[in-house]
Amino acid sequence: MSSEKPLAGKVALITGASRGIGWAVARRLGSMGARVSLCARDAKTLEAAATTLRRENIEVAALPADVRRAEEIAALVAQTRRALGEIDVLVNNAGIGRFGPAHEISEADWDNVLDTNLKAVFLVSRAVAPDMIRRRTGHIVNIASLAGKNAFAGGGVYCASKWGLLGLTYCMAEDLRGYGIRVSAICPGSVATEFSPHAGKDESKMLQPEDVAHAVAMVLTEAPQSFISEVLLRPTQKP
């Protein structure tokens, strides 16, 4: 493993990787030598993202899957192993938002947000962890949010999903650290992506997807005798 390519020989599976934060993470890890498996629901957008990375000489597998469904996750993990090798890094990034007063949110929207932002992390991590335990190595990085620590009007459903995600992350870290597996949470503030409207904000002052990718790279390259359990990421200037 060279200092220029610290993830050479590693395989990273990234969910929600067709655009935004997930794509930036995939690109960053690929530039560090990792073979990357990109997962998202939209096959066309996913393949376009993979094609761009291949032009940068990054080894990529583009595997459409709905991470809310256990059977699709099983296929995703198996296909990643066949295409690239055993999974060393899992970045749980897939997420959605529904905003508005909690008492006005539909049950369907509640289910969709919690299933995508929280249950999917449980399902994908559960699919990947047994092999990491067998090999006694691995790193799981969950893309959480400052909304998992701070309440705001209209954020009830989204905040609930991210507060739950942080609780899951901390418990997974305790469950798995004895096997040499590190589990970390990255908690960014608002990021300039298509994820949610940013009315009235100066996007040039907001966090960029590459800022989150940098944080992921940082926790993955921590010395093996320690791990960074949580990163809180804020813009220098308030947008």
Q: Which residues contact 222 (CB under 8 A, 6 or more apart)?
A: 182, 228
Amino acid residing at 11: V
Q: Give the chain's largest Cα–Cα span.
A: 53
Provide DSSP, 142-191. Answer: EE--GGGT---TT-HHHHHHHHHHHHHHHHHHHHHGGGTEEEEEEEE--B
Strand order in the sheet with 230-233: 60-62, 35-39, 11-15, 89-92, 138-143, 181-188, 230-233
Does 158 participate in catalysis according to the annotation?
yes
Close Cβ partners of 143 (under 8 Å, ≥ 6 residues apart):
21, 25, 91, 92, 93, 95, 185, 186, 188, 212, 216
The two three-digit tokens of residue 179, written as one number: 């096997």
Secondary structure E strands in 71-131 = 89-92
Pick the catalytic residue: 158, 161, 163, 192? 158
| Residue 197, token pair as written in the block | 């409207």
Question: Where in the sequence numbering do the catalytic residues fall?
Answer: 158
